[in-house]
Structure formats: C-alpha cells, structure tokens
Structure 1
Amino acid sequence: MFAKGQTVVQYMEQLAPKHVAMEGDKIGLQLGSLQKENRNVLVALDVNEEVVDEAISLEVNLIIAHHAIIYRPLAHLQSDTPMGKVYEKLIKHDIAVYIAHTNLDVTDGGMNDWMAEVLGIESAGSLEDVHTDNLYKLVVFVPKDHHEQVLKAMLNAGAGHIGKYSHCSFNLEGYGTFKPGEGTDPYIGTEGKLERVEEIRIETVVPYSLRSKVIQAMLKQHPYEEVAYDLYPMDLKGRTFGLGRVGKLSKPVTLRDFVERVKARLEVPMVRVVGDLDRPVRKAAVLGGSGGRYWKSAQFRGADVLVTGDVDYHTAQDAWMAGVAIVDPGHNAEKIMKPRVAAWLSEKLTEDKYATRVHVSQVNTEPFRFL
C-alpha cells in the first residue's frame, strides 16, 4: 500500500505545524495534487531543474522542500524561462511540491535544533520567540460507561499537556439532568421524560492549534446526540516556538577552533568570519538561513558567536564593533535538513505499513563556487 500525498504531508505537519510559520511565509502545497498515491517521495533543500530531473529518474510524485518554488506572485507562466522550465517539467511529470520553511525552522526537533545539536550547543533555547500556542480549558460531561474512551481520545489528540507533563486532566463524578424533546434519539432516557444520569466531568487543557482536532476526537467517541461541553481561554501561555537556538558549549574553545567545527559538521568548504579568531567561545547561537539581523538577540542572550548565513557588510561591521563574533557558513548549510526530514517521514510511513520510499536529494544546490 502506498501513501497518498495528503498522508505524507500530515506526517510532515506533525514535525513542522503550519500554524507556527512566520507571517507571510510561502509554505504548504505550491504545485500539484496531494490526492494521488506516492511510490516515491524526494526531500530537497531547493527545487531547481536538476532536482526535478532527479525526481523524474526516481519516479517521484511528491517533493518535500525547504525553500519555496513560488516566492513572489507570478505575472505569467512562460516555459522558456529558467523557472518556467521547472514548472513545466513538474506539471508534465505529475510531481507535486510541498514547502516546509519557517515552520520547520522554529519547531522543536526541527532545523535549528538540528544545527545546534551538530555544533555541540547544549541546553539550547530559542534565540527569539515568535509564536506562543495559548491554552484553552476544555470541559465535557460524559456518562460513566464512556468516560475512559472519551478521555483517551482527547488526550491522544493532543490535550492535557502542561509543561513537560502529558495526559493531565481532572475528573469529577456528579449527576446530569436532561429531558429528550420530540424527535430526539437519546443514548440514555426516553423522549419527554426528565432523566438524571451519573456522569463524569472531564477538564483538561488544549493548545489553540489543536482545539478543533481535540473536539472532533471527543465528539467522535461521545455517545450523546447533543454533547454538553465548554471551551474557554486561559490566562496561561502554552508551548512557545522561536527562531534560532542559543546555548553553552560543553567546554570553551577558541573562535578559530569553533570555525573548524562549523566547517566540518555543516559540511561547508569555507566560511566568512567576523571577530578575533583567538577569542574564547563559551556560548553560541545558531540560526539557519539569513539571520544576520538577529545578532543583537544573540548579544542579549549572552552569545559569544552567531552562526548564520547571508550576512551583509554593514551588519558585520555593527556586530564587530559590538563585540559579537559571526560565522557565516552560507544559506546552503540548511541542507542538514534533507536526511533528517527523510528519516522522519520514513519512520512514520513504516509505522503505518506504507510501502512508499523516501529519498534524499543528492543534488548540490549551492549556487556559489569557492575558489
């Protein structure tokens, strides 16, 4: 059995939920259909013509990429332009393209956690918070004989997380009253007769992003024709998502040695460096992609160095004068995501007994050459 594109994307969105993406980011399905079965899926950093040719050779029907293929509004779609040729090949060969960008960057266990891990940045926290999933209280009244299955459904759908604790709920026994009206089909009771039923009140917390999912799971398992439940906001913050990561190294190193670590572990031949190569580095920050403008956040968090790409001249000057070192390995260092996303999807597909194969793109999409 092969997974449809929509199933593959659902797994992807478990890792990188769409709602945590930065406002205006071009994510999600950008071309093609997710309603078809996929024998093969390709994970890539960028999608250029060479990557599309690779997908065609592997008989891929879905590409999961980090960088958008449609970033600005299209005024026309001409097949004799470089990107027009890419779109044409994708359409002719029935290949869909799905993008996970800043949502993959900020999520727990995503791009910036991977980069922090390989660089040896420990106990890494966010460099700058960008999204908080506020909490809601969900209360529902359930007959005793359905209590366990309704509660289990709600918790499995994502309710009940408080900090590092899961499956949190409060359950109180009591009595519910109701009178089924004309034309009803009650699970308990008789039409026109006042009923008094032993019920359990379930209370739990639900993050904003999972409200609909948890409520639907609850309603599916609840036996009543009309379910009594309450949902109201709480003055509590839930899970916070942030750009970049910052934390301490296991032991201090010189900036010179740290640069060699970046080159080796991010697999880049050269880097640009701002700062004294003999200065000690005890705390480091990392932000995949173009993150030069966040050097002040790195400074505020006490980082000795910021690892990020596409740093411009004047930003480098400002950071240098402020005493913040920068290591710029280039934007393509984000290629670290390819094997990790592929491994995530492969594991999920295997768990659910799908035969769909996930491939890691072998195309080097780095546009710069180092001479």
Structure 2
Amino acid sequence: MAVTIGQVAQLIEKLAPKFWAEEWDNVGLLVGSGSAQVERILIALDGTLEVVEEAREFGAQLIIAHHPIMFRPLKNLRSDNAAAKIPLLLLNHQIGYYAVHTNLDQSRLSSSFTLGEILDLKEIKLLEEKVSEGTKNLQSNIIPSNLPDEARGYGVIGYLERPEKLEIVWQNFLERLKKSNIYAHPYDLTGVRLAGSLQKEIRKVAIVNGSGGRFVPKALFKGVDLLITGDVDHHAVLDALEGGMAVGDLGHFLSEAPMLQALNYYLSSERALQRVEFKVSKSNSSPWR
C-alpha cells in the first residue's frame, strides 16, 4: 500500500506534536499535499537551494527539515522574490516540505540527549522541563530510559563520572564526536569555540542544541560548570564567565545535526514506512568555514 505525506506527518507528530512548538514557530507541512504519495524522503537541517536540488536528484517527494523555510507570510510568489524562490522550486519539482523545529527540540530525539551520551553524562535530567501527555510508548535506541515518558523540554543536565579539567573534557568531547556515528556524514569541526579557564574543574554539564544563549541564567542557577550549545553571543558568554561557568560553542549546525540521524533511525524503523527510502542530506552542512 502506498504511503502518503500525511501518514509520515502523523508518525512525526506522534513523536513531536505540533502544539509543542513555540508560538513564533512555523512547523508542519509547509509545501505540498498530505494526500501525495511518497517513496523517497530527504532529511535535512535547512531547506537550502542545494538541499532542494539534492532532493530532486534523489527523486524525493518530501523533504523533512528541522528549520522552516517560511517564518513570515509571503506577499507574492514571484520568481524575483527571494523569499519565494525555494517554495516555488519545491512546487515546480512537486516536492513537499515538512518542518519539525522547536517541537523536535523538546522531544526524545533532541541532539542534547545524543551529545550527553557522547560525554557519558550520569543522572541526566532536562534542563528546562515541560510536561505533556501523548508521548508514551515511543521506542528509540538512542533515548535515555531514566526519564518519565511524559517528560519533554529543552536541553539536558548531568554529571561527569569524575571531575576533570576543562581542557581535558573539551578535548575528549571533540575526539568522541569525530569517532562517533551520531552524524550521518563526517563534518568538519572547524569553528568550535571554548570560553573559560582550561584548568577549571568540570563535573556538572548542561547541553542545549541550537542557539542556547538564553539558557545561560538557568544553567548558572543550577550550578552548571560547563554549558555546551551553539551560537552563544558575546554578552551571554561574559555573563557565563562572570558566574563561573565555562561555555563550549559547537555552532548551530553541529549542535543540531545529530537529530537528522536520530530522525532517520526513528522513521526508517517504523513498520508503516518500510517501503519508503530515506536519506540524510549530504549537501547540507555548516555555512561557516
């Protein structure tokens, strides 16, 4: 039996319901028809021109992306309107576009969990917890088992097995990233940044995928020694350092890309989607060099 985009959307929303998304966000099926049949799906972080072309070459009928392609209403669909360029390409190639953004960030597939496993954090809890029903019985081989089924929220917090100097913790973390399989493709770690005394003892660690600067006050309040996130601005880093907390900045892409592999595992393991071919984008990577 043929699979439709609507059926794929239902499985995604079982994991990350749309109502979890922030009010300012724009998630769900943004381009295409829920009744359209799908045989191939491309998974990406961003809906770039390169990703659309990759989807076309792959023969995909759907792109599932973390970041929405439209935050503000389009005033027209003219070819000379830069904001309309990608939606028009998708329509021309008959490729649907489904965005799962801040709702995925709060789910069990959040990169925060995966990065926490890379550091082998103990006693993992959510950094900012919210509670909702409807997430029970989710199965994944990469989610922690010590959290209640109904828990959701942003970021994680946990402990290293023993205190280590910041220099050692950061070096070990980056080496584990390079050797791990949490990324579908090998990515260059150029551009990662670290702020704080290299001799500082680290035991309590918080991780927030994406732009996590707003979590600096919460992490400080919870006595975190090291916050690992992406896109931390100058003033947030100064606030962290003044509070005695080190900051590791992976950049936005590297901190969120593990979710692509996690989403790929989750969807490809669904019995209803066994006839669908999935691919994690190769063209989508960090724009920084």
- TM interval, shorter chain, is 0.7 to 0.9
Q: CA RMSD in A?
A: 2.3
* Cα separation, 2, equivalents of 1:263 and 1:82: 37
* Cα separation, 2, equivalents of 1:97 and 1:342: 16
Q: Provide the residue aligned with 1:343 in structure 2.
A: 265
Structure 2 residue 71 is the aligned partner of structure 1 residue 71: yes
Q: Percent identity?
A: 36
Q: Is the 8 A contact 1:305 1:325 kept in 2?
A: yes
Q: Is the 8 A contact 2:45 2:65 kept in 1?
A: yes
Structure 2 residue 246 is the aligned partner of structure 1 residue 359: no
Distance 1:66 1:92, change over 3 A: same
1:104-135 CA-to-partner distances (Å, cap 9, x unmatched) read 11113433222222232232111112x32279
Structure 2 residue 164 is the aligned partner of structure 1 residue 253: yes
* Cα separation, 2, equivalents of 1:15 and 1:353: 15
Distance 1:261 1:89, change over 3 A: farther
* Cα separation, 1, equivalents of 2:163 and 2:172: 13
Q: Provide the residue aligned with 1:132 in structure 2.
A: 131
Deviant stretches of 4+, over 6 Å: none
Q: Match for 1:285 among 177, 183, 206?
A: 206
How far the C-alpha of 1:20 sits from its partner, in A, is: 2.1
Q: Is the 8 A contact 1:263 1:269 kept in 2?
A: no
1:129-173 CA-to-partner distances (Å, cap 9, x unmatched) read 2x32279xxxxxxxxxxxxxxxxxxx99xxxxxxx9xxxxxxxxx
Q: Is the 8 A contact 2:210 2:229 kept in 1?
A: yes
Partner AA of 2:73 in structure 1: P
Alignment of 1:98-177 (within 5 A): 98-129=98-129, 131-133=130-132
Q: Is the 8 A contact 1:262 1:329 kept in 2?
A: no
Q: Provide the residue aligned with 2:184 in structure 1.
A: none
* Cα separation, 2, equivalents of 1:118 and 1:14: 26
Gaps of 5+ in 1: 136-154, 157-163, 165-236
Q: Is the 8 A contact 2:42 2:63 kept in 1?
A: yes
Q: Provide the residue aligned with 1:318 in structure 2.
A: 239
How far the C-alpha of 1:300 sits from its partner, in A, is: 1.9
Q: Provide the residue aligned with 2:80 in structure 1.
A: 80
Gaps of 5+ in 2: 138-144, 179-186
Q: Match for 2:220 among 271, 281, 299?
A: 299
The alignment's TM-score, normalised by the length of structure 1, stands at: 0.67
Partner AA of 2:152 in structure 1: F
Q: Is the 8 A contact 2:46 2:284 kept in 1?
A: no
Q: Is the 8 A contact 1:45 1:66 kept in 2?
A: yes
Q: Is the 8 A contact 1:47 1:67 kept in 2?
A: yes
* Cα separation, 2, equivalents of 1:261 and 1:77: 49
Partner AA of 2:240 in structure 1: A
Distance 1:261 1:99, change over 3 A: farther
Distance 1:353 1:366, change over 3 A: closer
Partner AA of 1:364 in structure 2: N
**Aligned partner of residue 284 in structure 1, secondary structure:** strand
* Cα separation, 2, equivalents of 1:356 and 1:134: 29
Distance 1:332 1:238, change over 3 A: closer
Q: Provide the residue aligned with 1:202 in structure 2.
A: none
**Aligned partner of residue 257 in structure 2, secondary structure:** helix
How far the C-alpha of 1:83 sits from its partner, in A, is: 4.1
How far the C-alpha of 1:15 sits from its partner, in A, is: 1.9
Structure 2 residue 26 is the aligned partner of structure 1 residue 7: no
Distance 1:347 1:48, change over 3 A: same
- Aligned residue pairs: how many? 268
